[in-house]
């Protein structure tokens, strides 16, 4: 890897588990020539109920792993990890492009017609200072109903996208948002886009769902372009997938969420 120009090095992407694959799909679609290394830290999922210090340690360790594999940029494909750890990551690696994410409160506030938006996210994200700042900046002129979705990440990690447990949890978590009349709902955790069809079925077509996967891919593109790091090769990028999950079928779950045959890292 080191003999190649840096622009041909991979982009490293991580999440607490399989959720960041929803972001990786946008990255792969927008930047098909980039090599991508994805790490699912599923052994440590969910991050949503861990302390910011524990999550920051995971962010540092996963970034070291990706850098050891030649990563030229890092995408923190996790709202919870961004809130807890991105400041420290940037402090440790000042020259490295590091792209994070936050719940799409700004676009949701702009899209809402009745001024009532819902935000589904982890407890960690909703309790973070970053989320408070986001509400302060973009949530002032709308009513924001927040809901932590405890237990939902675990269902998605198992690959359960529409089973009875996932369905029951979502019914419970969507109810307060619908009762308040939210017409726009933010999927503020990267796992949730995988249950978007079920959410849409439960809330009906009149409510709009927003997430930030596409915006993160565009941000990565502009950061790489600014630094002359876009891979100009005509070759198709090869995504590579790593997981530390103890679940025997973890790679099958990743493959089914990714939607095609995958290269497992070794």
Q: What is the 3 state secondary structure string of 160-181?
A: CCCCHHHHHHHHHHHHHHHHHC
The nearest distance, CB 83 to ligand DGL, in angstroms, is: 8
159 lies in the site for ligand DGL, by CB under 6 A: no
Residue 7 near residue 228 (C-beta atoms within 8 A): yes
The one segment of 63-71, 184-192, 225-233, 253-261 that binds ligand DGL by CB under 6 A: 184-192
Among 8, 63, 112, 125, binds ligand DGL (CB under 6 A): 125
112 lies in the site for ligand DGL, by CB under 6 A: no
Q: In what order do the strands lie in the sheet with 73-76?
A: 98-99, 73-76, 11-15, 36-40, 239-243, 263-264
Across the chain, where does the E strand assignment appear? 11-15, 36-40, 73-76, 98-99, 116-121, 143-148, 184-187, 208-210, 239-243, 263-264
| Per-residue binding letters, 21-60, with ligand DGL (x by CB under 6 A) | ------------------------xxxx------------
Kindly tell me which of 26 and 191 has the beta carbon lying closer to ligand DGL: 191
104 lies in the site for ligand DGL, by CB under 6 A: no
Among 10, 19, 139, 193, binds ligand DGL (CB under 6 A): 19
Kindly tell me which of 48 and 237 has the beta carbon lying closer to ligand DGL: 48
Radius of gyration, alpha carbons of the chain: 18
CA angle 16, 73, 193 (to 5 degrees): 40
Contacting positions for ligand DGL (CB under 6 A): 15-17, 19, 45-48, 78-80, 122, 125, 153, 189-191
């Amino acid at each position: 890897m080191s003999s190649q120009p840096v622009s041909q090095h991979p982009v490293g992407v991580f999440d607490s588990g399989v959720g960041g694959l929803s972001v990786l799909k946008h990255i792969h679609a927008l930047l098909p020539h980039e090599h991508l290394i994805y790490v699912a830290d599923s052994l440590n999922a969910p991050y949503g109920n861990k302390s910011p210090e524990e999550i920051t340690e995971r962010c540092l360790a996963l970034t070291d792993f990706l850098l050891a594999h030649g990563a030229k940029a890092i995408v923190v494909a996790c709202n919870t990890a961004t809130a807890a750890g991105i400041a420290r990551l940037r402090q440790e690696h000042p020259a490295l492009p590091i792209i994070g994410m936050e719940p799409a409160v700004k676009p949701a506030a702009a899209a809402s017609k009745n001024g009532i938006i819902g935000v589904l996210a982890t407890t960690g994200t909703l309790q973070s200072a970053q989320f408070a700042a986001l509400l302060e900046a973009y949530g002032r002129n709308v009513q924001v109903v927040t809901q932590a979705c405890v237990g939902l990440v675990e269902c998605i990690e198992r690959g359960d996208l529409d089973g009875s447990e996932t369905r029951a949890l979502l019914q419970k978590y969507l109810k307060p948002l619908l009762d308040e009349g939210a017409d726009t709902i933010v999927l503020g955790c990267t796992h949730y886009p995988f249950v978007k069809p079920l959410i849409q079925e439960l809330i009906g077509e009149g409510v709009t769902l927003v997430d930030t996967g596409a915006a993160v891919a565009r941000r990565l593109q502009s950061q790489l372009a600014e630094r002359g790091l876009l891979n100009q090769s005509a070759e198709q990028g090869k995504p590579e997938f790593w997981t530390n999950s103890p679940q025997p079928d973890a790679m099958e779950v990743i493959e089914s969420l990714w939607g095609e045959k995958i290269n497992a890292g070794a």
